[in-house]
Amino acid sequence: MRHNKRDLSRRDFLKTAGLAGVGTMIAPFKHSSQASEEAWTMPTRPFGNSGIHVPILSFGGSLNTSMSPLLLSQAVKWGVTYWDTAHSYMGGNSEKAIGKYLGKFPANRKKIFLVTKSWAWTLEEMTHELNESLERMRTDYIDLFFVHGISDISDIDDDTRMWAEKAKSEGKIRLFGFSTHSNMENCLLGAAKLGWVDGIMMTYNFRLMHTDHMRRAVDACAKAGIGLTAMKTQGDGQVTTNSEGELELAGRFLKKGFTDAQAKLKAVWENQQIASICSEMPNMTILMSNVAAAMNKTELSSTDKNLMFQYARETRSDYCAGCTAICESALHDRVPIGDVMRYLMYCRSYGDRYRATMHFNEIPETVRREMARLDYSLAEEKCPQQISIGKLMREAVDEMTIGDNKTT
């Protein structure tokens, strides 16, 4: 059946749907707060076998705005006391924003489950970044310290384990683990066998959670007592779609009283093995919306979840699932396909062109120049998602290379 065209654009529709969904969920949330303090309690879950309970919603913010103190204060009031940052975020300004808050409200430090990450290549550099992070955030310890963005479990070794044990014995960190954006399932399976990883943050969303490989990986970590934090939970891809399925999905959830973005969070929370969702919340609207979703006890129906999974299947070629060991190994030249796909997502789905171009231009110019000229046909043939890898790599070079560094 062919639908009549509407005057309302897709963007306007989603904007309207988002605001309406937030309104319908925030209204009862505000009302309940007047009734009792208990109604404001953010649900928590055990973080692996650590003995620590964390909020199911984590404040993931690249903080660099005048809104930061207000956002952090409100997050604490609403029980969003799991804070995630990294040494590199916003050139260090994200950690400094947290330090500014903790300097003003030092008594609240004991309420915060504080996480930071290091992208250092050596243990010596990692020690330097840890110490600098402690100084920036005006704290004596980090609750959970991550090695950032590993793609293979061999990226952490026995020397890393000894480093973590030393940092724990010195009281600088309580827990240790890693984050991963690519080849997540293999990294999780490998960590479960090590016996000394406390926590992992990985890409996990309605597109990935139902695959057999991911289910096995999450099960293995849960049995090993590893605390799991999900990120990239919206499943936004590198290609912006205008599909009927996306509009239908948004409209369905709007009728139920929440947005499609909130529904995607709820789908992840339904897996009790996930301790928390780390969501970037750069403004009060998103913070309110996510808190409302966390507080709301309405469960998704099996039909709701099936529609999500159906939409994921229909649009799989728009989304990089992070299985970069497959596509990158098909090339003779070293091209960080997975990283570039993530930068495209920052730019196109998140609207964060600054972060995308900053990271993209850290790739050596010789690699970027070659990236635009390579033949990706074998990598595309092997890609389970059937992504047009070559087209996206060329678009990335064109869209994200800065000024004089543009390739020809």
**DSSP assignment string, 174-185:** EEEEEEESSSHH
Cβ proximity of 203 and 184 under 8 Å:
yes
**What pLDDT is stored for residue 314 in this prediction?**
87
* DSSP-based three-state secondary structure for 232: coil
Crossing angle of helices 337-348 and 389-400, rounded to 10°: 60
Average pLDDT, the chain: 86
- According to CATH, what is the number of the domain 28-299? 3.20.20.100
- The model carries a pTM of 0.85
Q: In whole angstroms, how far apart are CA 270 and each of 145, 173, 276? A: 26, 30, 11
Over residues 369-387, the mean pLDDT reads: 93
- C-alpha to C-alpha distance for 176 and 146, rounded to whole angstroms: 6
Domain ranges of the chain: 28-299, 320-402
**What pLDDT is stored for residue 96 in this prediction?**
93
Phi (first) and psi of residue 243, to 5 degrees = -80, 155
**What pLDDT is stored for residue 298 in this prediction?**
86
Residue entry with tokens 């709701």 = 304
Look at residue 322 and tell me whether its pLDDT is greater than 50.
yes
- C-alpha to C-alpha distance for 188 and 186, rounded to whole angstroms: 5
Look at residue 407 and tell me whether its pLDDT is greater than 60.
no
**What pLDDT is stored for residue 186 in this prediction?**
97
Higher pLDDT, 18 or 246: 246
- C-alpha to C-alpha distance for 328 and 231, rounded to whole angstroms: 23
Tokens standing for 75? 């997050």
- Residues 101-126 pLDDT 10s: 999 999 999 999 999 999 998 999 99
pLDDT tier for residue 64 given thresholds of 50, 70 and 90: low
Which amino acid is present at 142? Answer: I
- Residues 253-270 pLDDT 10s: 887 788 889 999 999 999
Tokens standing for 334? 């070293």
Residue entry with tokens 């290609």 = 239
**What pLDDT is stored for residue 354 in this prediction?**
86
Q: What is the dihedral of CA 104, 63, 87, 222, to 10 degrees?
A: 100
What is the DSSP pairing of strand 82-84 with strand 227-231? unpaired
Number of neighbouring beta carbons within 10 Å of residue 162: 12
Crossing angle of helices 68-77 and 284-295, rounded to 10°: 10
- Residues 170-229 pLDDT 10s: 999 999 999 999 999 999 999 999 999 999 999 999 999 999 999 999 999 999 999 999
Q: What is the dihedral of CA 44, 307, 209, 213, to 10 degrees?
A: 160
pLDDT tier for residue 11 given thresholds of 50, 70 and 90: very low
